[in-house]
Amino acid sequence: MPVSPEKQSTLSTVEILSQGMVINVGPQHPSTHGVLRLILTLDGEQILHCEPVIGYLHRGLEKMMERRPYRHNIPFTDRLDYLAALSNNLGICQCIERLGGVEVPERAKYIRVLLMELQRIASHLVFLGTFGTDLGATTMFLYAFRERELVLDLLEECTGARLTYNWIRVGGVPDDLPDGFAEKVLAFVKVFRQRLKEYDQLLTRNRIFRSRTQNIGVLPKDLALAYGTSGPVLRASGVAYDIRKVDPYEVYDRVEFDVPVFDRGDVWARYLVRMEEMHQSLRIIEQVLRDMPDGPVQTKLPKIFKPPAGIAYSRVESPRGELSFMMVSDGSPNPVRVHIRAPSFVNLSVLPCLLEGAKVADLVAILGSIDVVLGEIDR
Amino acid sequence: MNEAVEQLLQRFGEAVTEWTQVRANEVRLTVKPTCWREIAQYLRDDPLWQMDYPADLTVWDTGTEFGVYLRLWSSVHNHNVVVLTSISREEPRIASLATLYPGVDWHEREMYDMYGVIFEGHPNLKRILLPDDWEGFPFRKDYLAEPSGDPLHGPQPVN
């Protein structure tokens, strides 16, 4: 018996509903923190499936690096994770140092750690501000950026730039700290400890904030490991994987600090890890300033730098997780291959798992809690 | 870690062509590409290894062949392993590890995108960073990188 046209139309509606509705988020959307596109399949307000589309910022940096001498590639790394440019600078410099067997003077190591931790605070403050805005707490943005300005002023005084520092060099740092820098940093530490308490009052103890983040976007420990996530995302799922402890570089084995780990694995835990990390960074900064020896800050290297043939990798704990550079050398002045293992790239790949079954309203909170930077995802 | 390496060598014999102890908790293995997946699975499941964290996977082009690089970490033993192999440039095929380690899924897609390496058994092997209709594999050493042609579809040969 043929189906009447009316019946046909109802059938197709049922069919459409059972398949879910496809909507597109991004690539131009303020809550995606860059040019990230998400293709969502929805059933009502529940997300059935999510497919991230990336590559809008792809510049082929890895290929560009093959065409330049080793040390000319440091400025490129500023453009990877542009919220933590110094971590990227350190990553590539460490890799070249391992490849060429370059020693770094003691004082330079301390300066590097000092800058890394200031950078971590600046980056986490951007997370805090934008995460607050994502959830509707606009005030947080103003406070976090007010304090970030203090860090940027310090970094500007030391490096001359506010975002793309290009300051770490192979074999050390280009110049010593400016006069009176230590006092200014200590003054900042004192102010910032107070401000962290204010943040706790504003967000951490806020009931609305808690209900928007607790038990949302739960990432179990085994999944977090199998997906290779790192940084605060992995530590919020109960794995104490911090490169600064697991494979200490520079002087991280000589300073005392704790690695915050939470078992909940939800958005709330990822937020708490970052808040606690800022406290720990302040501890590290104080110890580094106390113990910093005098001496040279750079090793002299030949004008044309040719590391021996081989493969080397380095890894640093950037604010977003394990940032690893892998380089292949054939003994010529240019690298054969530079590979950047960007923490955001891997952390984003777990997003479809987190979003499956979540509500659309929680999408922004979950994505914000992973804290991706598209510059290093697309490279 | 020595015991673990010995058992691995016993189990796989000639498939592991070379190995070096880089540091106290790190070894570097060079293996034959035919046993790529078996070795990765062994490293993941063997209680002496338990390499449960896929840290990195990448490919490089030497001009004559493709090298493949895999780095694993164990959350139980804090061991690091770098596994290297090389595959032919003319027919770049290697077993996919995406079903063993979901974390290498995107890495393998990226390497397919940039080098055209076919990861056999990958559930969703398609371009990830470049547009779907891009021509050629830009990270290969013989890829024409002249700034001519349509920038959205890839460079064209210059006459």
Could you report the per-residue pLDDT of B68-93, keeping only the tens digit for each? 999 999 988 888 999 999 999 888 99
Q: Which domain holds residue B75?
A: 2-120
Average pLDDT rounded to a whole number, residues B47-62: 90
Domain CATH for B91: 3.30.460.80
B132 contacts on A by Cβ (under 8 Å): none
Nearest to B71 among A60, A313, A378 (CB): A313
CATH code: domain A60-378 is 1.10.645.10
Enumerate chain B positions whose Cβ falls within 8 A of a Cβ in A. 52-56, 58, 60-62, 67, 69, 71, 73, 75, 78, 80, 82, 84, 101-107, 114, 128-131, 138-139, 145
Q: Could you report the average pLDDT of every consecutive run of 10 residues in chain A (379 residues)? A: 51 59 80 82 87 89 88 90 91 91 91 92 92 87 91 92 90 90 92 90 86 89 91 91 89 91 91 92 92 89 87 91 91 90 92 89 89 88
Give the amino acid at B67.
G
Size of interface A-B (CB pairs under 8 A): 81
Residues whose CB falls within 8 Å of the CB of residue A96, separated by 6 or more in sequence, listed in order: A70, A71, A102, A170, A305, A307, A327
pLDDT score at A1: 41
Q: What are the pLDDT digits (tens) for A301-350?
A: 888 888 898 899 999 999 999 999 999 998 888 899 999 999 999 999 99
Nearest to B55 among A311, A322, A345 (CB): A322
Classify residue B69: in a domain, yes or no. Answer: yes
pLDDT score at A122: 93
Classify residue B111: in a domain, yes or no. Answer: yes
pLDDT score at B146: 59
Q: Which residue bears the tokens 């986490």? A: A124
Query: CA-CA distance, A96 to B107, in Å (whole number)?
Result: 23
Using the beta-carbon criterion (under 8 Å), do A239 and B75 form an inter-chain contact?
yes
Suggest the residue from A227, A314, A316, A377 to mutate for an interface test with chain B (most B CBs closer than 10 A): A227
A20: its two tokens: 């879910």
Average pLDDT rounded to a whole number, residues B21-34: 88
> Chain A: residue nearest B130 by CA?
A55
pLDDT score at A283: 92
B105 contacts on A by Cβ (under 8 Å): 349
B67 contacts on A by Cβ (under 8 Å): 328
β-sheet bridge partners, residue A25:
A38
Suggest the residue from A59, A249, A322, A349 to mutate for an interface test with chain B (most B CBs closer than 10 A): A349
Number of domains comprising chain B: 1
Averaged confidence pLDDT in chain B? 85
pLDDT score at A232: 92
A322 contacts on B by Cβ (under 8 Å): 55
Using the beta-carbon criterion (under 8 Å), do A241 and B128 form an inter-chain contact?
no
Q: Say if residue B154's pLDDT is above 80.
A: no
Q: Where in A257-371 does DSSP place strands (E)? A: 310-318, 321-329, 337-341
Classify residue B157: in a domain, yes or no. Answer: no
Of A125, A33, A64, nearest in space to A344 by CA: A33
Residue B15 confidence class, pLDDT cut points 50, 70, 90: confident
CA distance A228 to chain B (A): 5
Q: What is the DSSP string of A32-64?
A: GTEE-EEEEEEETTEEEEEEEE--TT---HHHH
CB-CB contact of B86 with B68 (8 Å): yes
Query: CA-CA distance, A130 to A140, in Å (whole number)?
Result: 8
CA distance B87 to chain A (A): 16
Suggest the residue from B57, B79, B106 to mutate for an interface test with chain A (most A CBs closer than 10 A): B106
Q: Say if residue B158's pLDDT is above 50.
A: no
Using the beta-carbon criterion (under 8 Å), do A324 and B78 form an inter-chain contact?
no
pLDDT score at A121: 93
Nearest to A349 among B78, B103, B130 (CB): B103
Nearest to B103 among A228, A239, A328 (CB): A228
Q: Which residue bears the tokens 């976090």? A: A144
Q: What percent of chain B has pLDDT over 90?
A: 31
Classify residue B66: in a domain, yes or no. Answer: yes
pLDDT score at A371: 87
CB-CB contact of B126 with B115 (8 Å): no
Classify residue B143: in a domain, yes or no. Answer: no
pLDDT score at B149: 57
How far is residue B81 from each of residues B53, B72, B73, B85, measured CA to CA in Å?
A: 10, 5, 6, 13
Q: What are the pLDDT digits (tens) for B98-113?
A: 988 998 999 999 999 9
Classify residue B96: in a domain, yes or no. Answer: yes
Query: CA-CA distance, A124 to A18, in Å (whole number)?
Result: 41
B84 contacts on A by Cβ (under 8 Å): 311
Query: CA-CA distance, B75 to B51, in Å (whole number)?
Result: 7
pLDDT score at B151: 60
Q: Any idea what the Cα angle at residue A348 is, between residues B81 and A17, rounded to 5°?
A: 130
CA distance A298 to chain B (A): 26
CA distance A208 to chain B (A): 34
The domain limits of chain A are 60-378
Q: How many CB atoms are located within 10 Å of the residue A44 CB? A: 11
How far is residue A313 from each of residues A92, A96, B116, measured CA to CA in Å?
A: 9, 9, 23
Asked whether the bond before A308 is cis by omega within 30 degrees of 0, the reply is: no
